[in-house]
Amino acid sequence: MSFYGYEWKPYASVAKRREKTEKAAARAKKGGANMAPVASFRGAIAKTLWGKAWGDNLERYSDYANRQPPTARPHLCAQRPGD
């Protein structure tokens, strides 16, 4: 399917993507790169008054299943950005 001259990438299964990532990590490690896990972000999502008010407003809609996805509330409560 073409959209403005761009083609969609063919589907790659999770196993193929994982294998590709492992090969790339092995090449990087062989090249001397230091492979270390990324530290997780543990700060607040919103730091400004407007951002906090926006988060509170999203919480008000938590009664409506179609307004806030079920995965959004745990991320807001744990203060993690969406994964």
Instruction: Give tens-digit pLDDT for 24-76.
Output: 999 999 999 988 887 777 677 788 999 889 888 888 876 655 555 556 666 66
Model pTM above 0.75: no
Query: What are the Cα distances from residue 24, in Å, to 16, 35, 45, 71?
Result: 12, 11, 32, 31
Look up residue 28 and give its two tokens: 């990087």
- Give CA–CA dist 81/20, Å, rounded: 26
pLDDT band for position 23 (cuts 50, 70, 90): very high
More confident residue, 9 or 71: 9
